[in-house]
Structure 1
C-alpha cells in the first residue's frame, strides 16, 4: 500500500489516538482510511466544498456546498447522539 505523509493538528491527532484507544478502530491508519472514504463519498455526492469551482465561479452559479469540516462535525454529532 502506498504511504503518504500528512500534517494534522494536535486535536486531530488526539482524536485519532482516542478512536484507537477506545477500540473503535484498530489503528490510526484505519481511522484515516475511513475518513478518506467518507470524504470521497461526500465529494461524489456533491456535499463538500469544491474550491476550484468556487474560485472560477465569481457569480455563484455553482451551488454552494459544505466543507469537509462540516461533514465531520455532523458525523461526530451523530456518533455522540448514539453513544
Structure 2
C-alpha cells in the first residue's frame, strides 16, 4: 500500500489516538482510511465542496465542506455513547 505523509493538528492526533485506545479502531491508519472513505463517498454524492472553488461558485452554495461532515459524524458518535 502506498504511504503518504500528512500533517495534522495536535487535536486531530489526540482524536485518532483516542479512537485506537478505546478500541473503536485497530490502528491510526485504519482511522485515516475510514475518514478518507467517508470523504470520498461524500464527494461522489456531491455532499462536500471544494472550498476554494465554492467561495466563488454560486452553484455550490449550500454544499458542505469536509469539516462539516466530520463534525456531524463526531456528533453522531457521541450521541450513541
Q: How far apart are residue 49 of structure 1 and its match?
A: 1.4
Give TM-score scaled by structure 2 length: 0.91
Name the CA distance, whole Å, in 2 between partners of 1:25 and 1:74.
19
Supply the RMSD in Å over aligned alpha carbons.
1.3
Corresponding residue for 2:25?
A: 25
Contact 2:20–2:26 (CA<8 Å) still a contact in 1? Answer: yes
Q: How far apart are residue 32 of structure 1 and its match?
A: 0.1
Cα deviations across residues 23-53 of structure 1 (Å, max 9, x unaligned)? 0000000000000000000011111112354
Name the CA distance, whole Å, in 2 between partners of 1:10 and 1:53.
28
Judged with a 3 Å threshold, the aligned counterparts in structure 2 of structure 1 residues 53 and 82 are, in CA distance, closer, same or farther, namely same
- Paired residues, number: 80
Unaligned runs of 5+ in 1: none
Name the CA distance, whole Å, in 2 between partners of 1:55 and 1:67.
11
User: Bigger radius of gyration, 1 or 2?
Assistant: 1
Unaligned runs of 5+ in 2: none
Name the CA distance, whole Å, in 2 between partners of 1:80 and 1:40.
23
